[in-house]
Structure 1
Amino acid sequence: MTTLTPSKIRAAAHRAMALAALRSNSSLSVRLNRYNHHRAIQRALEAQADACDWLESLDGDAWADACEEIAAAQKAKAVAQ
């Protein structure tokens, strides 16, 4: 039995919101924008879950190195914004 992590639950919720956006009573452009917004969040959450699974498989110095790289990437992203 697989365990659902909070990010996987949120990804499923955004998938449902994306599909609901397509069926809403709005203009086509609004529906498409909402759909794309929720799908982008879903993809990001699913990618994050995959990265976490990969990180959990590391041990020793590899774990620390990966954490340092992630921290550096986060700082670079914050500076860019």
Structure 2
Amino acid sequence: MSQHQTPLVSARHEEEDAPENAGPKPGFLPIETNWFDRLFISVVIWVALSLFWFRFMEPMGLSIWISNVIALTLAIIIITKG
């Protein structure tokens, strides 16, 4: 019977030794998000920035690739730190 009790005792001991989860890491976004929410926000920003770029910046001669680089940089920052 002691063989069956040993794994339970050790499992309980590991749970007691585990550090408390302090909750989600606070980011700079004003809402609580997971990685998929932050990805969705990044895609929406990319679409909005592209539309803005097509309307106002591309007629001035600036390529859409500049907008894509800006959107990708923002997406990386939002997903990792947001």
Q: Does TM-score exceed 0.5, indicating one fold?
A: no
TM-score band w.r.t. shorter chain: 0.3 to 0.5
TM-score, normalised by the number of residues in structure 2 = 0.33
TM-score, normalised by the number of residues in structure 1 = 0.33
* Rg larger for: 2
